[in-house]
Structures are given as C-alpha cells and as structure tokens.
Amino acid sequence: MVLDREKIDFYLTDLETPVGKVISVTISLLVLVSSGIFVAETYDLSQEARWELRVLDNCVLIIFAGEYLLRLWSTKDRIKYILSFYAIIDLISILPSFIGLVNISFIRLLRWFRILRLLRFIDKKFLIGSISNQDSVIFARILFTLFAIVFVFSGLIYQVEHPVNPQNFDTFLDAFYFSVVTMTTVGFGDVIPISELGRLLTVLMILTGVALIPWQIGDLIRRLVKTANQVETVCQGCGLAFHDADAVFCKRCGKQL
C-alpha cells in the first residue's frame, strides 16, 4: 500500500514520464474546458445546452475532487500539502460548486479562480511540451499571470454586476472589456458598475493594474531584450538555451558549451 501511494504521488507530480505527461495534459485541458464552460454560461443559451454544460462541468468537478483527494491521500506530509499554495487553489476550485448545492451563491464567485490551477504546470516547466528552459518558463508565467488576473477579475465583476446591471454586463465579453480598460487605467467610462461590491472590485482592479501590470510587462521587456542580446547555444547539462555570444561555459551549471 505504501508503494501504491508513492507511485500515485510520483505520477501526480511528475512531468517527464509518459504517464505523468498524460495526467498533466488531461488536467490542463479540463481546466480550460471548465473555464470555457463558465464563459459560455454567460451567454444566452437554450435550456438543453445549459443542461449539457452543467453535466459536463459536474463531471470535471468530480475529476478535480478525486484528484485533490488522491494528492491528499498519497502525500507524506498532509498538513504541509493542505497549506501549500497549489492545494489551496485546488480546494478553491472545487469547494464553491459543492457549497453552491446548498445555495450559498456568494462563495461561488471563487469558481473563477480555477484557471489558476494551470500555474502548477507552468511552474514545473511544462506547457504542452514546449517549455524547456528557465527563461521560457518565466516568459510563460508572465503572460499567463496577466491573462489569469484579467480572467479572474472579469468573472468576478460579471457575477457581481450582471444581476443588477445586465445592460452593461450582459456577457463575459462585456466584463472582460471592462476589466482590460480598468486595469490598464484607460477608463473610457462607458461601462460603470453600480453595486458596492462591483465598485470595490473596480478599485482592486485599478490597484492591481497600477502595481502589477507595469512590473510584469517591464520584466517581460527585460527578458526579451536579454534574449535578443544572446545567441542560442543549448547547454547539454541543464538545457539553458541562450548564452552570451562569447560564453565558453554555461552560466547556470558551469558545463562547457
């Protein structure tokens, strides 16, 4: 039984073996499917289509819940796992759906954080098999972080404002437009939240946009400039792809190039 736990824990965290990659790709695709369902539900759909989406989302939820329980069961230090960043994100992604069964609608706002589950795989240098060096990982994380922040805020503002302000927040695209305009501090003023919670979220968007987006974009530009001044020489030791033109040894592991 101990061996089984070790195997499960290994495959749930491994991104190198075929089994580990299949599990990772499957979870990533399910996260995207779930996020797509959330977006689709903001549009005018037939009852049959909504029922099919709900069934699909419930299936994804069951898989996520099973994955969380497997990770909790197979890990050696359960307390450390429960308090870890990714475990909290995993729990946030599944808890609102179960709590929603007893009509606590406010907590269901947290379901939009499910997209953050993809950070686990980007952090592990894995994104559909295309990321193989640290610079690419950082590049991907910057882009995904910007997208995830806008996506989460768009979902939150939609769910808060749509019931009381449907003319301005009719679909997810309306909320996405508002989030981008707000977080970039352009502020056209053509879409305005009217609820107190919606205005609070708008303030948080502005603060996030002012504090985070310039920093992330600046880091991204620095990475691009840094890469532009280097040549592609893949290190056989650690896989670092770019080095200075006159480099003889890898700056990360010291292996001769």
What is the distance between the alpha carbons of residues 202 and 153, in angstroms, rounded to a whole number?
A: 9
Query: For 11-25, 29-43, 172-186, 220-234, which range has the lowest pLDDT when averaged over its residues?
Result: 220-234
61 close to 97: Cβ distance less than 8 angstroms: yes
* Cβ count within 10 A of residue 33: 13
pLDDT of 100 higher than 60: no
pLDDT at 103: 46
Q: What's the confidence (pLDDT) of residue 229?
A: 65
Reported as a pLDDT band with limits 50, 70 and 90, residue 2 is very low
pLDDT band at 51 (very low <50, low <70, confident <90, very high): very high
Cα dist from 62 to 48, 56, 65, 69, 95, whole Å: 21, 10, 5, 11, 11
The predicted model gives 32-47 an average pLDDT of 88
- At residue 99, the pLDDT reads 63
Contact 15, 24 (CB under 8 A): yes
144: confidence class by pLDDT, cuts 50, 70, 90: confident
- Provide CATH code, domain 1-124: 1.20.120.350
- Tell me how long the chain is: 257
Q: For the chain, how many helices (H) and strands (E)? A: 10, 2
Q: Whole-angstrom Cα distance, residue 107 to residue 100?
A: 7
Alpha helices in 172-237 (DSSP H): 172-183, 196-211, 213-228
Place of tokens 């429960």: 82
Q: Domain coordinates of the chain in residue numbers?
A: 1-124, 131-225
Q: What pLDDT shows up at residue 244?
A: 75
The proportion of the chain whose per-residue pLDDT surpasses 90, expressed as a percent, equals 10
Q: 173: burial class by Cβ within 10 Å (0-12, 13-18, 19+)? A: middle
What's the whole-model pTM score? 0.69
| pLDDT tens digit sequence for 72-98 | 898 888 898 888 888 888 887 777 666
Specify which residues 243 forms β-bridges with.
Answer: 231
CATH tag, 131-225? 1.10.287.70
| pLDDT confidence band for 52 (50 / 70 / 90) | very high
Strand-pair partners of 231 = 243
Q: How far is CA 122 from CA 5, 198, 226, 237, in A?
A: 25, 31, 21, 21
pLDDT, residue 122, reads 66
Give the E-state strand segments of the chain in sequence order. 231-232, 242-243
What is the C-alpha to C-alpha distance for residues 75 and 89, in angstroms, rounded to an integer?
Answer: 17
